[in-house]
């Protein structure tokens, strides 16, 4: 974990339950659209993500800004924010995917602060894996979730919040 990289959070609700938080450290898993994706390597509730701004600055800034919503709306009028986004793909034991802010299903959608498509990179769960494993139970072989997982809130953690998390480890 690095203190110099920004950390963001995603509060996730499963089937309408109260949101829970997850912490993820960014790694190099790249998608061709603007989708969020978690690998079950080291996942879903309220999520805190550590972004590798020092290694992939444009990618980290895109993800951070989509968590804070500070960029407003895209040229097509889509809010540049993950709040309200639903996870459209859950493959049990493999991946949880969401983040299509424009179409909500991940096949063709996905806007970024840089334009209509942009690659996203991130990875290792730091905390909240217990909730990710619960979300994993909604997965199918085809990837169509058997329940609803939605981002209820998201944003950037303050330096004090980051320090408190690092000190508690």
What is the pTM (predicted TM-score) of this model?
0.79
pLDDT at 133: 84
pLDDT value at position 128? 76
Whose CA is closest to 20, among 120, 125, 104, 117? Answer: 125
Q: Stretch 19-27: mean pLDDT, rounded? A: 69
Coil, helix or strand at residue 88: strand
For the chain, the average pLDDT equals 74
Sequence-separated (6 or more) residues with CB below 8 Å from residue 90: 96, 97, 135, 136, 138, 139, 140, 143, 145, 149
List all residues 6 or more positions away from 23 whose beta carbon is below 8 Å from its beta carbon.
7, 9, 47, 48, 49, 50, 125, 126, 127, 128, 165
Q: Are 101 and 65 in contact (CB under 8 A)?
A: no
The tens digit of pLDDT for each residue in 64-93 reads 888 899 999 988 888 999 899 888 888 888
Across the range 123-137, mean pLDDT stands at 77
- Joined together, the tokens standing for residue 50 give 């550590």
Task: Name the residue with higher pLDDT: 53 or 163.
Answer: 163
At residue 94, φ and ψ (nearest 5 deg) are -135, -60
Distance CA 109, CA 117 (A): 8
Cα–Cα distances (Å) from 40 to 22, 123, 125, 136, 149, in that order, read: 13, 9, 8, 9, 17
Percent of all residues in the chain with a pLDDT value above 70, rounded to a whole number: 67
Summarised one tens digit per residue, pLDDT across range 145-161 is 999 999 999 988 888 88
| Least confident range of 52-56, 59-63, 76-80, 128-132 | 52-56
pLDDT above 80 (res 15): yes
């Amino acid at each position: 974990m690095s203190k110099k990289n920004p950390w963001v959070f995603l509060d996730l609700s499963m089937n309408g339950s109260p949101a829970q938080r997850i912490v993820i450290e960014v790694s190099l898993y790249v998608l061709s659209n603007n989708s969020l994706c978690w690998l079950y390597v080291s996942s879903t509730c309220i999520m805190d993500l550590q972004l590798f701004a020092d290694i992939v600055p444009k990618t980290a800034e895109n993800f951070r800004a989509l968590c804070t919503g500070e960029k407003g709306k895209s040229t097509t009028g889509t809010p540049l924010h993950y709040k309200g986004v639903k996870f459209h793909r859950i493959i049990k034991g493999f991946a949880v995917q969401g983040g299509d802010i424009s179409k909500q299903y991940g096949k063709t959608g996905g806007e970024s602060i840089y334009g209509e498509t942009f690659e996203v990179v991130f990875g290792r769960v730091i905390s909240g894996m217990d909730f990710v494993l619960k979300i994993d139970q909604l997965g199918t072989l085809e990837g169509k979730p058997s329940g609803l997982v939605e981002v209820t809130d998201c944003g950037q953690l303050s330096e004090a919040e980051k320090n408190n998390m690092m000190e508690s480890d």
